[in-house]
Amino acid sequence: MVSFIVKRLLTAIPTLLLLIVVSFLLMHSAPGGPFTSERKLPPQVEANINAKYGLDKPLPVQIVNYVKGIVFDFDFGPSFRYKDRSVNDLIHDGFPVTLTYGAISALVALLVGVSLGVFAALNQNTWKDYTALSFTFTAQVLPNFVMAPLLVLLFTLKLGWLPGGGWEGGKIQYIIMPVIALSTSYMATIARITRSSMLEILNSNFIRTARAKGLPYHRIILRHALKPAMLPVLSYLGPAMVGLITGSVIIDMYFSTGGIGVLFVNGALNRDYSTIMGITILVGVLTVLLNLIVDVLYAWIDPKIRY
């Protein structure tokens, strides 16, 4: 297993390098540049700015300098848009915010989703099952861009219970709505995957054998059924976790959390090359790590899987 993990981490290096080169080329092929603005800059002023940010050099030189900066100094460069800040600063400020509400949302989605899915499966074709299914259907048609304004209208404007946005260092009242808005549709999907997976497991031979042996039902569920039923959930959770943790633009926009989701979108709109690169690399690294964790968990859940 250790050699598998080391091997996976080593193969991630060329993947990330390829990601950097492709992202760099894609960014530079987009029309307009970081300093394209309504107030068109005189050529010399633009040339001075390009020189300051190293954009006057050939593209391969820029890429090499960029990679060198990351490898040797862990420096992702200055932001072209937020000129008082480096990309390291921006990620340092924004990522903990995103990670906080993303991780809590993931946890909520997982706990509630799995519980709901198991509950529905155990009560298959009863009113309890139908109620749970209706709930998941409703939750699934309420994605975060619908949930966010609805929550604000209800809890901020009508009831006045929660602030309409902000982060304030992560105080609980600022976290509640982003977590609800972000976790709801993930939770619904997890519940539905868990339900069908659980039903499949419950109808399998080894469960029937366990029941025939007279094992207590709750023990069958917890010890024998739940673990294998989690495999499809894990498959879904890997990429979903990347989405949750690397930030949601909608959540950042509606709740002005200061997370990195909106930073990435603004980076793209502003052609803030260094910010886009920084966040792209962060997402790339997280994708590799989270997929690795999922693979390790897979092996733990299903010993038949060998790496």
Partner 1 sequence: MTPFKKTLAATLVGSAIFLAGCSNDDATSESAATDAAASGAVHPITGEALAADQTFTYWALDEHSSFDPQIVEDVSGSEHVRNLFEGLLNQDADGNLVPGVAERYEASEDKKTYTFYLREDAKWSNGDPVTAGDFVYAWQRAVNPETASPYAWYMEIMSIVNGAEIINGEAPIESLGVEAIDEHTLKVELTDSLPYFPMMVVHTTTFPAHKATIEKFGSEWTKPGNMISNGAYTLSDHVVNERAELVRNPMYWDNENTIIEKIVAIVVPDENQGLIRWKAGEFDLMSSVPTGQFTALQEEFPGEAIAYPRLCNYYYTFNLSESGPEAFKDVRVRKALAYALDRKVITEQILQGGQPQAYTFTPGATANFEVPSVEFASMTQAERDEAAKALLAEAGYSAENPLQFDMLYNTSEGHKQIATAMSQMWKAKLGVEATMNNMEWKTFLTERGNQNFEMARGAWCGDYNEASTFLDLLRTTSGYNDGKYSNAEVDRLMDEAKTMADPSANYTAIEQILAEEMPVIPVYHYAGNIMLHSNVKGWPVNNVEQNWYARNLYKVAE
**Residues making contact with partner 1 (CB under 8 A):** 30-33, 35-42, 44-45, 48-49, 51-53, 78, 81-85, 89-90, 93-94, 149, 152-153, 156-157, 160, 163-167, 252-254, 256-259, 262-263, 266, 269-271
In this complex, which beta carbon is closest to partner 1, that of residue 39 or of residue 306?
A: 39
Calpha distance 196→199 (Å, rounded): 5
Q: Which of 267, 271, 249 is nearest to 259 (CA)?
A: 249
Nearest distance from residue 240's CB to partner 1, in Å?
24
Rank residues 117 and 165 by Cβ distance to partner 1 and give the closer one. 165
**302/294 Cα distance (integer angstroms):** 12
Taking the complex as a whole, how short is the minimal distance between the CB of residue 282 and partner 1, in angstroms? Answer: 15
Smallest separation (angstroms) from partner 1 to the CB of 56:
11
CA-CA-CA-CA torsion sign (52, 277, 185, 180): negative
The nearer residue to partner 1, 166 or 239, going by C-beta atoms, is 166
Q: How far is the CB of 283 from partner 1 (least distance, A)?
A: 17
**In terms of CB distance, is 265 or 296 closer to partner 1?**
265
Nearest by Cα to 182 from 291, 267, 117, 97 = 97
Q: Which residue lies nearer to partner 1 by CB, 16 or 268?
A: 268
Q: Which is nearer to partner 1, 156 or 196 (CB)?
A: 156
What does 50-100 look like in DSSP terms, one character per residue?
HHHTTTTS-HHHHHHHHHHHHHHH----B-SSSTT-BHHHHHHHHHHHHHH
CB of residue 92 vs partner 1: minimum separation in angstroms? 10
DSSP codes joined into one string, 206-259: HHHHHHHTT--HHHIIIIIIHHHHHHHHHHHHHHHHHHHHT--HHHHHHH----
Quote the least distance from Cβ 5 to partner 1, whole Å: 35
